Amino acid sequence: MSLLELKDVRKTFGAIEALRGVTFSVEAGSAVALVGDNGAGKSTLMKTITGVHRPDAGEIRFDGDSIVGKDPGRIREAGIEMIYQDLALARMRNVASNIFLGRELTRSVLGVRLVDTNRMRNEAEAMVARLGARIPSVSQMTGHLSGGQQQSVAIARALTFNPKLVIMDEPTAALAVREVEHVLDLIRTLKRDGISVILISHRLTDVFSVSDRIVVLRQGEVIADDATCDTSMNAVVAHIVGAHSEPAS
């Protein structure tokens, strides 16, 4: 049984068919790259998986249970975490505060609940060390970090939910070469720890570097779904631009 299974998922907005029978799966501890041109349906698909949109038809099962109709909070509790391209970080707060943003750790002092900054700092340091992230200090302001370091903070924050699947939207966009490799190393770390990844990216070199499978979405349909080792960059590009128009069987 796959960790995540989508079968014939469909979603329309008025006359627009955003998803036209999408079927694919994600195995535990694997990285699946989702690629396609702008407007292919990638964002709609991710919002459907995470509960922002409800599919009009089809089935989505996670860890054996249907998640269709569940709200985003319950889907997060089930073990799916999404890291959006803008990261949604509070850049004027430090790293530890961002990692625990919205679920701050507290302690009781004379019956009053206070934020436990020391515990948050210690646990943030442990999370950063687990990832091997190159962050000089969890007390540093997040806005002063590089793009790759901010990605590390977003991933560390996602891990506080103990996810089984992390969806990453263009995590290496606009990063320098050295920072790109650091983010790819973080994805490899997630896989090593048994956490599955869906990687949305236009950077095919990154896709081929870390993914186990590549799913090509075009005009709301899965055009190709291949093991990374069984395809090529030229073949993936051809699927994206429509040189091969037959949906994947």
Mapping DSSP to helix (H, G, I), strand (E, B) and coil, where does residue 163 land?
coil
One domain, residues 92 and 125: yes
Residue 144 structural domain: 88-162
One domain, residues 22 and 63: yes
Distances (CA, A) of 160 to 101, 106, 144, 167, 218: 10, 15, 22, 15, 34
- Amino acid making up residue 227: A
**Axis crossing angle, helix 177-192 with helix 147-159, rounded to the nearest 10:** 20
Instruction: Provide the number of structural domains found in the chain.
Output: 2
pTM listed for this prediction: 0.90
Q: Of 162, 182, 199, which residue constitutes the final position of a domain?
A: 162
One domain, residues 38 and 108: no
One domain, residues 58 and 29: yes
Q: Of 131, 162, 193, which residue constitutes the final position of a domain?
A: 162
Tell me how far apart the alpha carbons of residues 237 and 86 are, in angstroms, rounded to a whole number.
Answer: 26
Tell me how far apart the alpha carbons of residues 78 and 86 are, in angstroms, rounded to a whole number.
Answer: 23
| CB-CB contact of 153 with 98 (8 Å) | yes
- Amino acid making up residue 177: V
**CATH number of the domain enclosing 8:** 3.40.50.300
One domain, residues 158 and 172: no
One domain, residues 111 and 206: no
Please report the pLDDT score of residue 50 as a whole number. Answer: 97
One domain, residues 186 and 68: yes
Residue 242 main-chain phi, psi, to 5 deg: 100, 15
One domain, residues 135 and 207: no
Distances (CA, A) of 69 to 60, 61, 133, 166: 10, 11, 36, 20
Q: pLDDT tens across 170-185, in order?
A: 999 878 888 999 999 9
Task: Count the neighbouring beta carbons within 10 Å of the beta carbon of residue 101.
Answer: 16
Residues of the chain with pLDDT under 50: none
One domain, residues 175 and 245: yes
Q: pLDDT tens across 124-161, in order?
A: 999 999 888 889 999 999 999 999 999 999 999 999 88
Q: Of 134, 162, 190, which residue constitutes the final position of a domain?
A: 162
One domain, residues 1 and 71: yes
Please report the pLDDT score of residue 248 as a whole number. Answer: 60
Q: pLDDT tens across 15-34, in order?
A: 999 999 999 999 999 999 99
One domain, residues 206 and 238: yes
One domain, residues 46 and 57: yes
Residues 12-45 as b or e (16 or more Cβ within 10 Å = b):
eeeeebbbbbbbbbbeebbbbbbbbeeebbbbbb
Distances (CA, A) of 140 to 30, 46, 52, 70, 203: 32, 32, 33, 37, 30
Q: Tokens for 235, please give them.
A: 């073949």
